Structure 1
Amino acid sequence: MTKSRSGIHTLHIPDPSKAAAGAALDAVTELGDALPDTGPDLYLEYGAKHLRNHLPAEVLDALAQWRYSPTAWLTLANLPGPHEPVPTPRDGFCDESLLRTPNLVHFGILHLLGLTPIAYPWENDGRLIRNVAPRAASADTLTSWGYAQPLDWHTDDSVLDHRPEADAAEAIPHYLSFFGMRNDERVPTDLLPVDTVLETLPDRTAEALRRPDFTVTAPESYTTDDHGRPLSRTVVPVLWTLPDGNAALRYGPGRLTGHTPGARAALADFERHAAGLPGLPVMVEEGGFHIFDNRRVMHRRVPFQPAAEGRARWLRRCYAHRPATAPVPATAG
């Protein structure tokens, strides 16, 4: 395990383990014609199987520990990628059959972490994996296909249901996971823990953010409702507490509206404090895997100039959900 200057711990896969895992994953025959969207369980099962067989014991132990006691984020480096180079997609989508090995790695790690991939029908054409890659037609949009404008601090899919009993198909995604295909531009993803922001906020501001006095609207990457209006959710809090006791947040610049003077003042105070915090940079490079809790961590990205066609920054994003665990039986006595 290594530690970057930002304080982010990284599990580094040794070259021999990477080669062995890559060879085993390249040789998987049980998938048939299945793609991640048509056979996710196959990718979860066989990805995890071969990673268990070839990753070092200390890495598997760290993944198992995270599974039962998750931190706000986790990073791995030097994982196997496609057998042959694949150009960065130009229009947001690509031939998934060329990406079997990175998809097996991505889904295999999610399975080892006890997580389930999740997609939404109104976003990304309902696909599980989003190509975070520059698209010329989307350059100025505030989406994962844009690059000319900054993406300020936000959490993803804040318009969805935050309650712990919410169905996975309608809930704010618990985790964002990324597999790095390439990042020659060395563009980081900055992370800002909710706890860090709360340390700077007055108690009265936090209390106001916990009240269901807000409306949230969906971002540009969402489709609209049947009447052409942006999807929205009313009477919701900005801040709440997760079942494990950690503070959680929904936020997107310009996406939240307070319905009372106190709510509007609290939102403005929150934005002022968050804007002054630097966050922690994470560099997801080729063969890297990074995951963070979308409810406990905000993220952002600076504008950048993409590399040459076919070589531009390309991350593969998959939302993940942690199924509710059964309660621990009470001991007798």
Structure 2
Amino acid sequence: MPEEATTAAADLVADLAATAERLAGLGAVPDRLLQTHAGQIPRDLLARLSRQVGRPPRHSGALLVRGLLAPLAAKCGPTPAHWSAAPTGPMDLALVLVAAALGQVFGWAGQQDGRLVHNIVPSQGYENLQVGASSSVPLEWHTEDAFHPGRASLLMLACVRNPAGVGTRIASVRELGLPHEDLIRLGRPVVRISPDASYPATGSGPGTTRPGVPTVWWAPDGPCLRYDPAYSTRSHDDPAFEESYRSLAERLEQEARSVPMGAGDLALIDNDVAVHGRVPFTPRYDGTDRWLKRIMVRLPSQRPEAERREDGYGQVEIVLPTTAGAVR
């Protein structure tokens, strides 16, 4: 479990659940919550969420908030067999409220039918793929949507249920102790990253002719990571880079933390600093399997200027208005 963990205050848990259930009763849906029901969202609740949840520390890149969504997780029903069969309910609304209190909520039109709240469940036929619906293989280390210049700044994972305690693995580039020369080599733009298999075909797979991008890039406060080896190829041979890339993979394994989230827990991952993955597990496909919900948040950032010239493989984003513009 990450050192940065906190237990949600009981009054915040109760008020968030009550607000989400009231909004659901009014017919609110997550994808348009701030447009259609801004007047029914308590401003003080958003302020409290912003203060008590907050952004993960930049060194570890991870924060676990225990129990924040527990009353709502208990009412979610059986784990669906596929993300498309997951119902929308108060927990989804609560997750949007938490995310909107921290930044700009967004998603991709090409992923899970454009929903802002994604459902991560094991699905038959996906067991061995490198996507969230897999189970039999480890979900390898990755930056969420590493292929895209507009990828999330903050990734939020909410646990509906996790009876076997299947761990979400997290590792921060700032805790690896990589030698400076490795960090410099990893800054060479020689890695091409393609969209993962959860996106519709883009016509550009691992053999794409797009330019490479840096694996390590630098923010004003330190090194950051853009990493997804399962969907990466090299733009040219660079033996020194390959050695540093192998060292990075080794250090990630050595410094990994496993977070066995429980029902109602919320993990926040700094998508610029930390990568995440998952250990393999054996699903039962009986409605009791591990079920996470995922939502993405964009924060002000200072990513490399070169990223602005990338096309993001044509993925179209869906964006909620910020709370500052929606809630008066």
TM-score of the superposed pair, with normalisation by structure 1: 0.77
Q: Which residue number in structure 1 is paired with residue 123 of structure 2?
A: 135
Superposition deviation, residue 210 in structure 1: 0.8
Superposition deviation, residue 17 in structure 1: 4.9
Partner of 1:86: helix, strand, or coil?
coil
Relative to structure 1, the CA distance from residue 130 to residue 211 in structure 2 (aligned partners, 3 Å threshold; closer, same or farther) is: same
Q: Which residue number in structure 1 is paired with residue 139 of structure 2?
A: 151
Superposition deviation, residue 24 in structure 1: 3.8
For structure 1, the residue ranges without an aligned partner over 5 or more in a row are 162-170, 326-333
Q: Which residue number in structure 2 is paired with residue 165 of structure 1?
A: none
Superposition deviation, residue 40 in structure 1: 4.8
Relative to structure 1, the CA distance from residue 231 to residue 26 in structure 2 (aligned partners, 3 Å threshold; closer, same or farther) is: farther
Relative to structure 1, the CA distance from residue 228 to residue 269 in structure 2 (aligned partners, 3 Å threshold; closer, same or farther) is: closer
Q: Which residue number in structure 1 is paired with residue 164 of structure 2?
A: 185
What is the aligned-residue identity percentage? 23
Q: Which amino acid aligns with 1:62?
A: Q
Superposition deviation, residue 37 in structure 1: 2.3
**2:77 is the alignment partner of 1:106:** no
The correspondence for 1:12, drawn from 8, 15, 35, is 8
Superposition deviation, residue 216 in structure 1: 1.9
User: Which is bigger in relative contact order (C-alpha 8 A, separation at least 6)?
Assistant: 2
Relative to structure 1, the CA distance from residue 212 to residue 175 in structure 2 (aligned partners, 3 Å threshold; closer, same or farther) is: same
Partner of 1:318: helix, strand, or coil?
strand
Within 5 Å, give how 1:69-88 maps onto structure 2: 72-78=61-67, 79=69, 80-81=71-72, 84-88=75-79
Q: Which amino acid aligns with 2:81?
A: R
Relative to structure 1, the CA distance from residue 202 to residue 257 in structure 2 (aligned partners, 3 Å threshold; closer, same or farther) is: farther
Deviations 1:215-255, CA, capped at 9 Å, x for gaps: 22222222222x4645954231111012x423211112243
Superposition deviation, residue 68 in structure 1: 11
Superposition deviation, residue 310 in structure 1: 1.2
Q: Which amino acid aligns with 2:96?
A: F
The correspondence for 2:21, drawn from 23, 26, 30, is 26
For structure 2, the residue ranges without an aligned partner over 5 or more in a row are 303-328
Q: Which residue number in structure 1 is paired with residue 232 of structure 2?
A: 256
The correspondence for 1:206, drawn from 152, 176, 183, is 183
Relative to structure 1, the CA distance from residue 304 to residue 43 in structure 2 (aligned partners, 3 Å threshold; closer, same or farther) is: farther
Superposition deviation, residue 8 in structure 1: 3.2
Relative to structure 1, the CA distance from residue 269 to residue 22 in structure 2 (aligned partners, 3 Å threshold; closer, same or farther) is: closer
Superposition deviation, residue 314 in structure 1: 0.4
- What is the RMSD of the two structures over their aligned residues, measured on CA atoms? 3.1
Q: Which residue number in structure 2 is paired with residue 62 of structure 1?
A: 52
**2:15 is the alignment partner of 1:36:** no
Partner of 1:235: helix, strand, or coil?
coil
Superposition deviation, residue 186 in structure 1: 0.8
Q: Which residue number in structure 2 is paired with residue 118 of structure 1?
A: 106
CA contact (8 A) 2:224 2:273 kept: yes
Relative to structure 1, the CA distance from residue 95 to residue 235 in structure 2 (aligned partners, 3 Å threshold; closer, same or farther) is: closer
**2:211 is the alignment partner of 1:234:** yes
Q: Which amino acid aligns with 2:228?
A: G
Relative to structure 1, the CA distance from residue 194 to residue 47 in structure 2 (aligned partners, 3 Å threshold; closer, same or farther) is: farther
Deviations 1:144-194, CA, capped at 9 Å, x for gaps: 111011112221111112xxxxxxxxx122111112111111111111011
CA contact (8 A) 1:185 1:307 kept: no
Superposition deviation, residue 285 in structure 1: 1.8
The correspondence for 2:244, drawn from 248, 266, 276, is 266
Relative to structure 1, the CA distance from residue 268 to residue 71 in structure 2 (aligned partners, 3 Å threshold; closer, same or farther) is: closer
CA contact (8 A) 2:152 2:271 kept: yes
Deviations 1:103-152, CA, capped at 9 Å, x for gaps: 22211111222x11211223223221211111112112111111011112
Relative to structure 1, the CA distance from residue 82 to residue 323 in structure 2 (aligned partners, 3 Å threshold; closer, same or farther) is: same
Partner of 1:285: helix, strand, or coil?
coil
Superposition deviation, residue 317 in structure 1: 0.4
Within 5 Å, give how 1:293-308 maps onto structure 2: 293-307=270-284
Superposition deviation, residue 30 in structure 1: 8.1
Relative to structure 1, the CA distance from residue 191 to residue 42 in structure 2 (aligned partners, 3 Å threshold; closer, same or farther) is: farther
Relative to structure 1, the CA distance from residue 145 to residue 83 in structure 2 (aligned partners, 3 Å threshold; closer, same or farther) is: closer
CA contact (8 A) 1:151 1:300 kept: yes
Superposition deviation, residue 270 in structure 1: 2.2
Query: Which whole-Å CA distance do the structure 2 matches of 1:75 and 1:46 have between them?
Result: 28
Query: Which whole-Å CA distance do the structure 1 matches of 2:105 and 2:228 have between them?
Result: 23
Query: Which whole-Å CA distance do the structure 2 matches of 1:49 and 1:68 have between them?
Result: 25
TM-score of the superposed pair, with normalisation by structure 2: 0.78
Superposition deviation, residue 7 in structure 1: 1.9
Superposition deviation, residue 50 in structure 1: 7.1
